[in-house]
Amino acid sequence: MDLKNKKFIFIVNPNSGKLSKKKKVKLITECFPSNPDIVFTKNSQETSFLSAQAFKNKTIVISCGGDGTANIVANQAIIHDGIMSIFPFGRGNDFAKFIGINNEKDFKKIFLKPTVFKSGYLDLFFKDNHKICLTSAGLGLLSEAAYRASKIPLLQGRLLYIVAALSCFINLKSHSYILNLNKKENLTKKMSILVVASTPYAGGGMHIAPDAQKNKNKVNIIYAKKVSRIEAIGLLGKVMSGNHLGHQKVTNSHVKNCKIDTNENNFWAHLVYGDGEYLGNLPVNIQKGTKKLKLLIPENETID
């Protein structure tokens, strides 16, 4: 792709990660020295509005934040058929990891040999709204850990989510989930973990869904039956390396669509988290997005 005469805007979440505004500007200008257009947004609504305006004007938007910021920008990119990229400044950066942009060195490569990669994502339909998810939608232990991670200062990356997950083990819960798979198969089971994934990484680089890309037209659903604390700790260790799919209590499959609900009143049972953010409460219908998300990445980057 020829970037000559292309317009760019860097939309920056000032609250993502631990870097100061000054440091973020310095990194952007070092990677893109041609007088970059940099905007620090006040909230998610402004991020969404500015992204939409940029895409309407055929401007390439660089999301400078974490997975939550990328999610907001991506939603507008999909609606307006725009092109975006990511400069990861967040605490998790799982989607950036998936497209091979882990730091400023990786980001600089975009401007040497750029190409457009068309990525899948999840469409989530709740009772009163629609959301997208770039990585994976988690329930049970995963949603509780994501909630707790959002309350933990200072830590970031995999360590943040390990600490959050371990804090959940103090009062480990399993919840009864009702799954309708491919609009015909109904399952009701007690589960500790339930995740629907489009891409492999979650929790700051944990390989939660290593098979996510094996069938790009279907979502990857993974769940673990009720486990003890000892089993949960063992599973956490396996998740870090992506070796958990062979565990006797883990089920891994690909489906066209799934509906998830619960018959419990427990607060934690209803929560759905994805891209490091709260997405909504059950029930939810999940499927692969019908359009593709256009991402500017280095030409030789291998997407796994």
- The per-residue pLDDT of the chain, averaged, comes to 91
Q: Which pLDDT belongs to residue 3?
A: 84
Q: Which pLDDT belongs to residue 210?
A: 94
Burial per residue of 23-52, b for 16 or more beta-carbon CB atoms within 10 angstroms, e otherwise: ebbebbeebbeeeeebeebeeeeebbebbb
Residue 134's contacts (CB-CB under 8 Å, 6 or more residues apart) are 67, 70, 71, 74, 95, 119, 121, 122, 198, 199, 274, 275, 293
Q: Which pLDDT belongs to residue 304?
A: 63
Nearest Cα neighbor of 298 from 92, 134, 55, 117 is: 117
Q: Which pLDDT belongs to residue 143?
A: 87
Per residue in 94-115, pLDDT tens?
Answer: 999 999 999 999 999 999 889 9
Per residue in 135-183, pLDDT tens?
Answer: 999 998 888 888 888 888 777 777 787 787 777 777 778 899 999 998 8
Dihedral angle at the C-alpha atoms of 74, 78, 80, 81, nearest 10 degrees? 110
For residue 152, give the amino acid letter.
Answer: I
Which residue ranges of the chain lie beneath pLDDT 50?
Answer: none
Backbone angle region of 264, left / alpha / beta, with phi > 0 → left and psi within -120 to 50 → alpha: beta
Q: Which pLDDT belongs to residue 206?
A: 84
